[in-house]
Every structure is written in C-alpha cells, then in structure tokens.
Chains A and B, each alone.
Chain A
Amino acid sequence: MDPRRTVTAQWADTWLGLNVGTDIALANAMAREIIHAGLANPAFIQRATTGFELYRASVERYTLDFAEQATGVPADVIREAAHTYARADRALICWTLGITEHHNAVDNVLSLINLALLTGHVGKYGSGVNPLRGQNNVQGGGDMGAIPNRLVGFQDWTTDPAVRAKFERAWGVTLKPEYGMTLTQMFDAMEHGELRAVYAIGENPAQSEADQHRAERLLGGLDHLVVQDIFLTRTAEFAHVVLPAASSWCETEGTVTNSERRVQRVRKALEPPGNARDDLWSIAEIAKRLGLDWGHPTGEEVWNEVRSLAPIFAGMSYARLEKAGGLHWPCYDENHPGELFLHSRLWKDPIEGPAAPFSVVEHELPLEMPDAEYPFLLTTGRRLDSYNTGVQSGGYSSPLRRGESLDISPEDADHLKLLDGDPVRVTSRRGSVVAPARIDRTLRAGLVFMTLHFQDEVKVNLLTIDKTDPKSGTAEFKACAVRVEPVRSTEPLAGRAQSVSHAGA
C-alpha cells in the first residue's frame, strides 16, 4: 500500500495505490469487510481485547464503495486484500514513514493495530505489527529513553512512583513528574523564547525539519547551541560549540537494537580521527565541568547500569550478548532466553495483563489538499542510495544518485509540456524551489514526489508543512499542496537545475 508504485510495490502480488493520507479509510474498510465476511476472530476479540462494539459501529460507514471513493483503490482490490489478510495463517503488517509522517500519525498506526486485533494476527510467531526502522539503532534510541515520555526500558516515571523512586535513588537526584518536549515542541518553545539553549547530538534539524526557513531562524536565534556530530552539518554551522564525535559504528564500544528488538554488540575497530571523541567521553567531560564527576565509564559499565534499572534488559550481559549473537528484549534475568515476538500474553487463557483496546479512528484528509491555486499534492520520501538530509550519504558517490528532482507522472508532464530534465518551479504556501523534472511512471496524475536528500541544492523543506500530529509530534511531510510551473529560460536557476538546458515551454 503506497501512493507510488515503488520498487517494493513492484515486488508485490498486489499494489494498492491509495491516495495520500487515506490510510485510515482503507484500514477501516478492510475491517468492515472482514467483519461482514465473517472472517474476524471472535474468540480472540472476546478474550483479549476491549472496545470492539464501539469499533464495529465506527467502521460501519466505511463501505468498499466509500473506500474506493476516498482512496482511489478499486473496491474489488480492497475486498481481496481484506480477505487475504484475514484468511492468512500468518500475517504481518509492516510500515515506515508513509504511515507516521502525517498529522494523524498515531491514528494511522491505531487503524492498523485494529486490523491485527480483529483477526488475531498478533502475539504469535510470524504475525504482528512492525514499524520498520530506517537505521540500525532507531529502536535502541527509544529503548534507552531518548524519547520525552519514557526513561530507559520504556518506564514512565510520571505515573509510577516506584519507578521514580528507583531512578531517584540510583541517580541521587529528584525527578520532576513531567514529560519532556518532542522535537517539534522544542521548536515551538524556541519560538516562544522558552527554550534558549540546545545540545544536539547526531541530529540535523536545520535541514530535516519541515518549514526550513523557520527552523534556520530559530536555531540561529538561540543563546547557546552545542552540536555533537561526526560531520559538520548545516545545524553545526549555527552552533556556538561543535564537538566532533566518534562514529558509533566501528569507532566505539556498545550495543545497537534493531527493528526486531535484538540487542547486539558493536565493537571498536578503529581509533576515531583527529580530535573526534566517543560520545560517552564528551558527555562525561561536560558533566565534570557542570560539577559532577562520573569518571569515564566504559560502554559496558553504562550498559550494566541500564540492566540494573530497566527490567527488560536485566538478563543481557555483554557475555551473553556475545555468545548468543544478540538477544531479544524483554530478557528479565540471566536465564531468560529473550522473546522472539511480543504480546504472546494475549494468547494465554485467561490473558496476562490488560486486554488490548480497539481504538475508534476516523478518516481525515491531509491538512492541505490541492486546490485551484496549488493543484498538485507533493509527497516526500527517500531514495534507495541516500539517507535523510544526506549528512551520512551525500559525501559518497553512487551510480544511482541523480540529485534532487521533481518527480511527476507522464500525464502531468505531458500537460505541462515538460521533458525529462526540464527545470520546474515548485511553490507551496510557504516557499518555492527550482528543480529538474523527472518523469516517473510510478506516479499518477496530480501526485508529485521529492526527497529531502539534497537540502543544500534544493531545500524541499521550504515547501513542507510544519503542522504536526499532537500525539507523536511528527510533521506531515507526506502531504502538502504545491504549484508546478516550467521555468522560463531567462529566469535564474538554482542548484542543479542550472546545468540543465531548457527545452520545454
């Protein structure tokens, strides 16, 4: 399921090319079809879930015809997908940013979880719901508490006094029972003057945030900005202090956790170049200058502290990780084998722990839809050989990389009299960029595509909308309305487009 027929979609037995931002309409229609066809799992629903009746009532209006209207996907194809999913012996739902980079990201995810609960495709081998991670250690970052609402091991210190007491005792400090800020909340706080100093580690918000004009203005206006990174990023150019970091791959000791929650060791093979330092070293030195002498703990010492405070990692000694080639959390003690999949408790009779709730979620269009002035819907994404803003991939050549382009359907290109490579001006309500057009059959009329890999040349995030999902803080990178115009040959061109001769218009 993807608005574009991507390379992955080309592998698929069936591609459902839904309209951008209509994931909930599709999921709810599948649910209704599953229920009406008698393919739901009533025993599982009865034993392991709550809220089914409300959910059933809520999806009732999502008929196949309604879904076809909303998503564009033919009703028979949606029906077939629903039946295939429901009838499968094992079924897994995987997703990435196409689900989460929306103003209603959490609702999108909940609509998928509903499908898994409806059919019982969860909590058993080969089934479940799985957000695929873009990096080897995205999961590990969250595991370690690099999220504003949980401490290491997903422990909530604001609601659970025992947790708070445990951490206060271990760290010798008092913890306020308040969540921190999401990245987007931080930018709002900067806007309001509430956040004046930022310590950015391994993040390039100057280029990765939606509405880049605003991001640059706010970062440039801080009292103090410290950037710790392996590259001198665009964000580092605004910094008062830059701390060169060692690469966490092959220049440091530690662990990473992948999408399947497998914690694995990484080992140091090289000395970092120049004055680049291990992140741990830099953090400990800052602590020392702030009056806290932590010494210089090794990766294993930090990990053992994690194990002592977070029960789900307690059984994962370095020795065991080494021997087993990695272990899946949760792993509660040295004899625990780790768990290959989560939520098996839902299949115990009676279930262990709380029942899994169905969530009523409704279809909502993206905040900005095409209109007469901005007739195209721009969706952003990634290409195979580049990574996000290109900090880690832009310095290396690739035979596949063609630079930024405005990918457009053959039908629209025809209409605009564009040839492949012709420069076009892409304008949203927030900004305007120039890029060469690339005619792409995987797109349909009305839908255009860009990436954010080449921000130095084409600042695509000048176009995107910075409205975020209130629950997750993720911006709606996947949808904004734009205008596409061929560039007159007399108009000055920016970036790569300058080298492209203008043949159209």
Chain B
Amino acid sequence: MDLHLLDAAPTAEERDALDALLGAPSSGWEGGERDERDAHTAAGGHAARSRRHLLLPAFHAIQSRVGWISEGALNYICERLSIPPADAYGVATFYALLSTVPRPKRVLHVCDDIACRCKGAEQLCQELERTVGPAYHHGPEGSHVTLGEDDAVWLRSPCLGLCDQAPAALLTVAGATPIERLFGGLDAAKAARVLKGDLTPASAPHPRLPQAGDPSLRLLRRVDVADPTSIDDYRAHGGYEALRIALDLGPEAVIREVTDAKLLGRGGAAFPTGRKWDAVARQPVRPHYLICNADESEPGTFKDRVIMEGDPFGVIEAMTIAAFATGCERGFIYVRGEYPLAIERLGGAIAAARARGLLGADVMGHGFSFDVEIRKGGGAYICGEETAIFNSIEGFRGEPRNKPPFPVQVGVFGKPTLINNVETLVNVLEILRIGGPAYAKIGTGDSAGPRLFCLCGCVTRPGVYEVPFGATLRRMLELAGGIPAGRKLQAILLGGAAGVFVRPDEIDMPLTFEGARAAQATLGSGVIMAFDDTIDLVPILLRIAAFFRDESCGQCVPCRVGTVRQEEALHRIRAGRTRGGLAGEMALLDEIGLAMKDASICGLGQTAYSAVESAVKRLHLFNGAKAQ
C-alpha cells in the first residue's frame, strides 16, 4: 500500500464533519498536529485497516455537511482511515449521491423514472428546465467554481421509491444540521418552491396505507395505526411478543418454525429462508453477521420503505430474532440513501430498543447479545445485490462478488452472514405469533404466507397492498381502484425494471411463485405497475434501458457493454434509423440479451434484457415501427 496522500488540506468544516464521526485524530500521521512523538513512532497497520468499513459513512459525513467531497476532504479521510486516495476516490465516484466535484449545498433530485413518468415527471422536468434552468451538470474540468451559500440546483434521479405519491423528488441540503426529505405529489411550481427553501409540509409522515387498520393485515397491521416513534405504542400493538416467544423456544426451534412455515425470500430469488438460517447457524466460523437488506431500489418498489417508516420496531425485532436463531452478535441494516425518513425512524427505534434492553449486551435479560448499526447507501441500485452490499459495507466499491463461496459461508468481512430482505424478516414475527405450520396454510401450497405488492403507475389508489398469496393480477388492480375512468389498460410491468411486461389479457394469472413461473413472468420485488393507453411505452422502455446502463457497476463485460448496446439499439429503433432493419436490431437485442443473461456475474446483468424482451415479444411493441 502506497498511500500517496495528496497535498490538499481539508477545510475547517470538512475536518469538523469527519471528526464528528471518527473522533479527533490520534496523531499527526492521522492528520492532526505533528508532535515530537510523531517524529519517532506511528501506529497503523491492521488497526487502521480494520476501520476501512467507515469509508462510506465518512463520505456521507462530508457530503451531508459540505455538499460535495473535495480533494482536501478526501485526503483527510484517507489519512484517518489509512486508505490510498486513488482507491477511496474510486469508491466515492461509485455512488450517485456523492459528488467529487463542487456542488451547491441545496440539491433537488427529481425522479424521472418510470412510475413517476406515468404521473407527468418528464413534463415536470421540462418545465423546470424552462423556469429554473437546466439540470445541474458539472464536470471535473472546472472544479474551481465558487459556490454561493444560497445556490440551489436540481438533478434528474432514478426511482426514489415514493411511487405511490408520484411525481417525487428528494431534497438534500448540506450543513451542520443537514436536511434530507422526500417530497411527493410534486408539480413544477411546487418543486421550484422547495428549491427556494419552502419545506412545507414541515414533516412528511409518508406511509399512506390504503388498507390501514384492516383487521386481516398481518405484516402491515401496525402501519398507520401504531405510532412509529413510540416503543410503548409498538408494544401496545403486540410488539416484542415474537421475540419473547423466540427466546423461549431457543435457536433451533425458531429455525424449525421458519422452515415449517415454508417462508421463501421476498427479495426476488425466493430462496427458502429456513434453509438459509440453518446454514448460517451451523457455520463453525465466528463471528456471524446479520444484514437486513433495505437497499430497496428496484424501480416501482416501495414496500420496504413503508414497513421501515410505518413499523420500524418490527424490523428491529425481526432482526433480533434472526440474530438469536443464527448466532449473530452484530447486525447491519443497509438502507438506501434516498430513504431519510426510514433511516430516521429506524435510528429512533434502535435507540429506544437499546434503552429498554431489547438490543445490546443482554437482550431481554436472556444473556444474548445483539446490536444493530444502520448503514446508509450512496445511491447505487447494484448495492441491493447481496454480495455488493458486503463490499459496500466493507468500504469498497459496491461490486458483486462471484459465488461460490455463498454468503452463508463467506459473507461480510469474510464471515458467515445471514442476509434477508426487510419483507422477509417481518414475516418471521407473524410466523412466531401463529406458528410455522399455521403460517404455511396461508396462501397456496407452494407460496405460503402473505405477500406485499406495490401498486403504482396508472392506478386510482396506488400504494402497498397486503394479500395472502394466490390473488390474481386482476384482483390486485381492482384493490387499487383500477385504471382511471375513461382509460384502457395497455400493459402491466410485473416485478419492476428487472421484471416483465404482461398484456391486459393475461391479468387472470395468480400472483404466486408458481403462477408467475407458469406465465413466464416474475413477481420480483412485488411491483405491479400499470400503464394505461395514454402512456407511450417506448420512452418508458428507453428509461428502463438507461437505468440499467447507468446502474451497471461496470465490473463484468457482458453487462457493462451489453446495457449500453441495448440502449443504443432501442434509440435507433425509436428514431427509425435501424441497422440491418428492424429484424436485424431485434436479432441484435436478442443476442446481447442472451449474453447478459448467461455471462453476467449478478442479477443486474442477468435481468437487464427482461423488460425489453417482454415488450418486444409479449407486447409486440415495435411491430408497427418503421424500418429503414
């Protein structure tokens, strides 16, 4: 390791921001004042390198204080954590929410992704261009610009997970007390007001659960019912009963309940949760780590946000149970950076649980030790991939790892790791409440339990809906109030950008794992995004292609190159300037798609062609296109 530290020095503000996270530097070698002792000794080595996992939190500390990460700040971070600046720079530039070029403190990230497009996001952006000015773009070449305190800019952003309140935007205001807030139901005038500093409404209690209070709810029964900031209210609504049951049962019996419940992972891969828990519990290598994957970034998905914002204690309790069952003493919940309210609510829940002895050295007086740390993502879809999360937590670029070894054997910090999605974990509360066998009777034979669906796009009552497995697509659309009056359903995107388009005549398919498989579709993250006949699907498809191109981590060739070529071919088709005719472009898309599916390291590349393929082959989207 040659540190090759830079000459640039941090500003007082940058130094403060980092020292608030890491404490004051312990020596001149860490960026403090050089004294006589520093002339003759230095500590470092393993101790310094073991703090690498603080790199992303360090970047966030600077970003949220200053608004961007200067060379001086980068250098100071590297001095403190013993990381070569070139390496750290590679990490900083990996994350969209971090800026390594000057950027004003006040930034509005306006979603122009597919769900928001159904609600006029593109028109909103164009109007902002006219009224406020073009979206902020700043290359590294002119990095000496001076920024005014009151400067405010806007950027286009991928899906922010506020699809039920589209169009949406995320405001970030850097400073000593930074502001990060999601705004829904925007129009251009309101966006301009937010940019100018009008933050009404003062607080944003996001969950707007259409089914709130419905007695049949199992996973969402506390959302919009119990106060998410009160541990007493949580307990008054049945909170921490499941943990008590788990501690009484013991780890093996908890795993048996989860196995008997036939719970399958809700993150998309549908792996049997009980088997995963059992595998981690059996690993002789210690310590074991638990990660709750809350990096919900699939366009159109917002169910985990609703759970975290509406029932944060439930997530922490479920994590505590999982940790108890699998022998983890330390857990991380990795929340996407675009979910400030979820992070705030979880932070409050963790603090309250610690204060009550429900987290910490002696959970519920049971002699079991467990604690949770929140890790905030930096705006990278790929970090929802389970091994990319490991790299991100460890302070590296969030690039997926090859498997095997699997996370249950070699996960974060090279140790056995249990990683589950938020929705998967909260199911465990219900399993312990009613027992595994009873839970297994909910739903259908191969798809047990309740399931959350994210209804968005052109539906009358968008939101998260909980139903027992088995409901049809038609039933879900009806629950959400159907398509607005006077319009016709054109297509449904099932499972998010990585999912498939289905036709209106296919909506009687049951939304179960087996039903989706039979229909050659996928439930993915539970997205049901409806498009009525007023929506031009070609720009939607281009946005999906652009999303994958932008979010590809670039590590493996099929995905890095394939996502670019795919988007180019779609642009050519749209512009009527095909090479080799439409048939030629279709053949090319198919070949690229196959290469990405077969040869990409992770799910991103493997599914990057999925929506495009279904649009072509299921919707016959380009059948009327002119070829040249």
Contact = CB atoms under 8 A, between A and B. Distances in A.
A444 B39 contact: yes
Contacts of B2: 7, 10, 384
A5 B46 contact: no
Nearest to A6: B2
Given A5-B29, A7-B1, A7-B2, A13 B41 contact: no
Nearest to B42: A15
B147 interface: no
B41 A74 contact: yes
B40 A72 contact: yes
A445 B28 CA distance: 14
Contacts of B7: 420
A71 interface: yes
B24 interface: no
B40 A14 contact: no
Contact of B40 (A7, A16, A384, A420): A16
A5 B43 CA distance: 11
B40 A17 contact: yes
A298 to B, nearest CB: 43
Overall SS of chain B's interface: loop
B41 A16 contact: yes
Interface in A401-456: 410-411, 420, 441, 444-445
A222 interface: no
A444 B34 CA distance: 10
B3 interface: yes
Interface magnitude class on chain A? 20 to 34
A500 interface: no
A12 interface: yes
A170 interface: no
A85 B39 CA distance: 23
Overall SS of chain A's interface: loop
Given A7-B2, A10-B82, A445 B39 contact: yes
A11 interface: yes
Contact of B44 (A12, A17, A77, A384): A12
Given A5-B29, A384-B2, A11 B45 contact: yes
B50 to A, nearest CB: 11
Given A10-B1, A10-B3, A74-B37, A17 B45 contact: no
A72 B1 contact: no
B292 to A, nearest CB: 34
Interface string B22-57: 000000010000100101111111110000000000
A73 B42 CA distance: 10
B40 A11 contact: no
A18 interface: yes
Given A7-B1, A7-B2, A10-B82, A15 B44 contact: yes
Contacts of B29: 5
A427 to B, nearest CB: 25
B47 A17 contact: no
B40 A74 contact: yes
Nearest to B41: A77
Contacts of B46: 13
Given A5-B29, A10-B82, A17 B41 contact: yes
A9 B1 CA distance: 10
A71 B41 CA distance: 11
A433 B3 CA distance: 30
Nearest to A10: B3
A122 to B, nearest CB: 24
Given A10-B1, A384-B2, A17 B39 contact: yes
Contacts of B82: 10
B285 to A, nearest CB: 21
- Ranked nearest first, the 9 interchain pairs of A and B with the lowest CB-CB distance are A13-B45, A444-B39, A15-B42, A17-B40, A72-B40, A77-B41, A7-B2, A73-B40, A12-B45
28 contacts: A5-B42, A7-B1, A7-B3, A10-B2, A10-B3, A10-B82, A11-B44, A12-B42, A12-B44, A12-B45, A13-B43, A13-B45, A14-B41, A14-B43, A14-B44, A14-B45, A15-B43, A17-B42, A18-B40, A71-B40, A72-B39, A73-B41, A74-B41, A77-B41, A441-B34, A444-B39, A444-B40, A445-B39
Given A5-B42, A10-B82, A17-B41, 17 more contacts: A5-B29, A9-B42, A10-B2, A12-B44, A12-B45, A13-B45, A13-B47, A14-B45, A16-B41, A17-B40, A18-B40, A72-B39, A74-B41, A77-B40, A384-B2, A441-B5, A441-B34
